[in-house]
């Protein structure tokens, strides 16, 4: 169905294109404060170099989600703050391109990033942050085995309402990996 490949600079234009014509809340919902509106390739490139993403000595790896058969890039997911001492990591910047949502690709991508985290980095606990307005995402995370933790105390003013950020955590030993 899908596979993960390391994101490359030539892929940045896809991310920018997917977010063209969107507003700052749209970008903030999947990227948090990592990028400013409007999203540009330069912002992504600067973040890549600043955090040494995808470098052999890095603790952050950014993947593109690619469809088998067509080789189309349909999303991105970042595995960050990889702590090999405490066997912990964080999923950031998880995004499935519009038109490909609701087809199970997000669930498959999560399973793949969990496999990468456990097999390549020895991770046993994976966490992520999600805003309460992302109800479909929360259901997807819970279907994999993530447990919604308490409200972090962090809110984001989206204009029409305040979004509440929740932590979610997955203990790999509590689920069956495929």
CA distances from 57 to 27, 34, 50 (A): 28, 21, 13
pTM: 0.95
Q: In the chain, what are the domain boundaries?
A: 2-126
CA distance 151 to 155: 9
CATH number for the region 2-126 comes to 3.40.630.30
Give the pLDDT confidence of 29-65 residue by residue, as tens digits. 999 999 999 999 999 999 999 999 999 899 999 999 9
Inter-residue long-range contacts of 105-110, CB under 8 Å, 24+ positions, other chains counted? 105/1, 105/2, 105/65, 105/67, 105/74, 105/75, 106/75, 106/137, 106/140, 107/140, 107/143, 107/144, 108/1, 108/2, 109/2, 109/4, 109/65, 109/75, 109/77, 110/77, 110/140, 110/141, 110/144
Q: What is the pLDDT along the chain (178 residues), one digit of tens a residue?
A: 999 999 999 999 999 999 999 999 999 999 999 999 999 999 999 999 999 999 989 999 999 999 999 999 999 999 999 999 999 999 999 999 999 999 999 999 999 999 999 999 999 999 999 999 999 999 999 999 999 998 999 999 999 999 999 999 999 999 877 6
């Amino acid at each position: 169905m899908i596979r993960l490949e390391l994101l490359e600079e030539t892929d940045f234009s896809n991310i920018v294109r997917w977010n063209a014509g969107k507003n700052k809340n749209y970008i903030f919902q999947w990227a948090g404060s990592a990028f400013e509106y409007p999203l540009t390739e330069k912002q992504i490139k600067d973040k890549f170099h600043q955090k040494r993403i995808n470098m052999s000595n890095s603790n952050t790896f950014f993947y593109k989600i690619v469809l088998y058969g067509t080789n189309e890039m349909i999303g991105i997911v970042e595995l960050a703050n990889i702590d090999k001492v405490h066997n912990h990591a964080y999923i950031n910047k998880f995004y499935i391109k519009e038109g490909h949502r609701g087809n199970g690709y997000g669930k498959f991508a999560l399973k793949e990033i969990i496999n990468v985290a456990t097999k390549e980095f020895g991770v046993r606990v994976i966490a992520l942050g999600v805003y309460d307005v992302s109800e479909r995402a929360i259901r997807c995370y819970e279907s994999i085995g993530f447990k919604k933790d308490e409200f972090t105390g962090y809110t984001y003013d989206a204009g029409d309402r305040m979004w509440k950020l929740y932590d979610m955590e997955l203990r790999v030993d509590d689920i069956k990996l495929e």
